[in-house]
A and B are shown apart, each in its own frame.
Chain A
Amino acid sequence: MNAERKKTLEKTTLTVRKDIVRMIGVAKAGHLVSSLSVVDILVYLYWEKMRIRPEQPLWSDRDRLVLSKGHSCAALYAVLANRGFFDRDELWNYRRLGSMLQGHPEYPRTPGVDAPSGSLGMGLGIAGGMALALRLDSKNSRVFAILGDGELQEGSVWESAMTASHWRLGNLVAIVDLNGVQMEGSVSKIKGIEPVAAKFEAFGWATVKCDGHEMESIEKAMNDALSNDRTPTVILAVTKPGKGVTIAEKFRRRPAEPLGRHSMEEALGELENMSEDYAEETESGEPYEKYP
């Protein structure tokens, strides 16, 4: 990955993180920690890898993405808005009555959202069904499913894992956001899921590990996954809960704790400072004060 591309992607992740903080701040609710942990993976996919047409969200030859950990939808919405699927102003209606951006992803309500989610454990199976149907139609589209690590405690995930390997769904890539936290605390303490790689391998999947915040590492893992068309591949992306925002990272906020006005200002200030490292590329920059 050349330095310029890397820099552009990283700059984009900061824009997305700022939007997430604003969305969750304005909505006074939302899953900040797990939205922040998945940002880099989503940005990489939507800007680098996925064949999509934002102006034609239901284009039949597109790649699909199922955000099985639907509670992180603030990240997906911010990515879709910045990628041009819908007007960025919609982000400030997140979780509001009548909004296009519901508390968990709804289909067909939001342009760019390829599948419903919110009840955990279902996205891998939906993605598997998509992969089967696409293969049946001889389409080259790929399907990406993003799962949480706590979500692996749902039995239905493993039904789908078995189905996908049985049908040799080489056009399916699962990504597990290993941020290590779930609703009531750390995954390892509540119901440990390790060894995750060995579990998926035993289910017939290829596994690749990556640093879920390093663009080059994500790219390498994606390329490995997409070059394997014999079996489904799972990318085990090690991430940091609340990545990029100190108050979310450091103080181990509870996953769905709302963000107060003061904390929001602090988080935005921090992200703004980081953005200054990329200042030369920023076209004057939209001042975040413009938004509530």
Chain B
Amino acid sequence: MKSTRDAFGEALLKLGSLREDIVVLDADLASSTRASAFSGQFGDRFFNVGVSEQDLVQSASGMALCGKVPFACSFAAFLVTRAFDQIRTTVAMPGLNVKLVGTHGGITVGEDGITHQATEDIALMRSLPNMNVLVAADAVAARELTFLSAEIEGPVYLRLGREPVPEVYENSERDFEAGGGRMLKEGDGVTFCTCGIMVNEAIKAAEILEKQGINAEIIDCYSIKPLPEQLILSSLRRTGCCVVAEEHNVIGGLSEAVARLTATGFPVPMRSVAINDRYGQSGSPKELQEYYGLTYREIVGAAAQVWALRRRS
């Protein structure tokens, strides 16, 4: 068990030793975003701009315009919403090489409550042309997606979480790519399109469904934009039905991305396991997941529904 933000901090440190052009900016939350590891080793390339998310992004853009590869880090809720105009005008429109890292994504931030829980960040970032949107399912994915972010020429939004999460990937996993997704388990009964913490829930759900004779196929859609369209469509052609699971508002996130893809590419019955257009609240991460229906149980229920309606060709 390790959090995606911890893995990010370690990967960033590695990047710092590999590449001189990497700089890190943070808005006074480096201990929490784990950018602090980088600041300890590469103090001359680390800038805490203070409690100023707008200037965090503006400064990062200025540095990118002078050839640096800046990682601008803060809590997803503050980075994306407070500085949205800056992200739109100075990062996405010019397509600058700025890496926006939002930690504490979703409601599993926990007790800090609704202001600190980002449940609309993916929707906002998806809506910006030029923006790559990545979500890490576990520590290995977070590490690899951090490296991938540095390799991509252009804007990236990387969403990470606060809580330790169980391993999904072997430590040796590589080859994450822009626009990619990962087939974690093959099956012909139902397709699960998931990301972030919901990947683990989907794995648990698949085990239960297996016993009931439904063989689920699980895709980690770690690249929400661009979406791994061919991977998803070819899966839907085998299974004929789909459940999307994400720790985000049902509006604007992975659910709608997959819905648009299926509706235009290969229509199949689909259900979403996501936050039903409401805000979170204080509580332990586990309590919140159960309260808002973000567990394997809801995935099992949704799978049973779509499976009964599945498209047979």
Q: Which residues of A contact B (CB under 8 A)?
A: 60, 64, 106-108, 114-119, 121-122, 124-134, 136-137, 155-156, 159-160, 162-163, 166-167
Are B89 and A118 in touch, CB under 8 angstroms? yes
Flag whether B59 is at the interface (Cβ < 8 A): yes
Which residue of chain A lies nearest to B83 when distances are taken between CB atoms in the complex?
A: A156
**Whole-angstrom distance from the CB of B258 to the nearest CB of chain A?**
32
Given A118-B89, A122-B90, A129-B65, the answer on whether A136 and B45 have CB atoms closer than 8 Å is yes
User: Which of A108, A115, A125, A136 is the one whose CB lies under 8 Å from B59?
Assistant: A125
> Given A106-B94, A116-B89 in contact, is the A128-B66 Cβ separation under 8 Å?
no
Interface flag for B129 (CB, 8 Å): no
Chain A residues within 8 Å of B67, by CB: 60, 133, 137
Q: A126-B58, A136-B45 are in contact. Are A163 and B68 (CB under 8 A)?
A: no
The answer to whether B54 and A159 touch across the interface, beta carbons within 8 angstroms, is yes
Task: Mark each residue of chain B from 88 to 120: 1 if its CB lies under 8 Å from any CB of chain A, else 0.
Answer: 111001100000000000000000000000000
Q: Please give me the residue from chain A that is nearest to B55 by CB atom.
A: A159
Asked if B281 lies at the interface with its beta carbon under 8 angstroms from chain A, I say no
B61 pairs with A126, CB closer than 8 A: yes
What would 7 A/B residue contacts be, using CB atoms closer than 8 Å?
Answer: A116-B89, A116-B90, A119-B88, A122-B54, A125-B57, A129-B64, A133-B62
Q: Which residues, 43 to 83 on B, are CB-close (under 8 Å) to A? A: 44-45, 47, 49-50, 52, 54-55, 57-68, 70
Determine whether the beta carbon of B68 is less than 8 Å from that of A126.
no
CB A144 to nearest CB in B, in angstroms, measures 13
Contact A125 B58 (CB under 8 A): yes
Given contacts A119-B85, A136-B23, contact A125 B66 (CB under 8 A): no
Do residues B89 and A160 form an inter-chain contact, with CB atoms below 8 A?
no
Q: 7 closest Cβ contacts across the A-B interface?
A: A129-B62, A125-B58, A133-B66, A129-B59, A159-B55, A159-B52, A156-B54
- The residues of B that contact A115 with a CB separation of less than 8 Å are 61-62, 65, 90, 94
* Residue from A60, A119, A125 having most chain B Cβ neighbours under 10 A: A125
Closest to A154 in B: B54
A129 contacts B60, C-beta separation under 8 Å: yes
Q: Which residue of A lies closest to B59 (CB)?
A: A129
Among B61, B65, B94, residue most surrounded by chain A Cβ atoms (within 10 Å): B65
Q: How far does the Cβ of B215 sit from chain A's closest Cβ, in whole Å?
A: 50
Closest residue of A by beta carbon distance from B72: A129
Q: How far is the CB of B128 from chain A (nearest CB, A)?
A: 14
Contact A166 B50 (CB under 8 A): yes
What is the size category of the interface that chain B forms with chain A?
A: 20 to 34
CB distance from A125 to the nearest CB of B (A): 3
B89 touches A119 (CB 8 A): yes
Q: Evaluate contact between B94 and A107: CB separation under 8 angstroms.
A: yes
* Cross-chain contact of B52 among A127, A133, A162, A167 (Cβ < 8 A): A162
Query: Judging by beta carbons under 8 Å apart, are A163 and B66 in contact?
Result: no
Cβ–Cβ < 8 Å partners of A126 in chain B: 58-59, 61-62, 65, 90
B3 CB–A CB distance under 8 Å? no
Say yes or no: A163 contacts B63, CB within 8 Å: no
Are B94 and A108 within 8 A (Cβ)? yes
Which residue of A121, A130, A159 contacts B62 across the interface (Cβ within 8 Å)? A130
Which of A114, A119, A155 is close to B65, meaning CB atoms less than 8 Å apart? Answer: A114
Known: A108-B94, A156-B54, A160-B55. A122 touches B86 (CB 8 A): yes
Closest Cβ of chain B to A156, distance in Å, is 4
Interface code B13-56, partner A: CB below 8 Å = 1, 0 otherwise?
00000000001000000000000000000001101011010110
Given the interface pairs A108-B94, A136-B23, the reply to whether A129 lies near B61 with Cβ below 8 Å is yes
Taking CB as reference atom, which chain B residue is nearest A129?
Answer: B62
Contact: B54 with A129, CB < 8 Å? no
- 9 additional A-B pairs beyond A133-B63, A163-B59, beta carbons within 8 Å, are A60-B67, A116-B93, A118-B89, A119-B88, A129-B61, A129-B64, A130-B63, A133-B62, A160-B59
- In the bound assembly, the distance between CA atoms of A106 and B88 in angstroms comes to 12
Which residue from chain A places its CB closest to the CB of B25 in the assembled complex? A129
Q: CB-CB < 8 A to B58: which residues of A?
A: 122, 124-126, 128-129, 156, 160
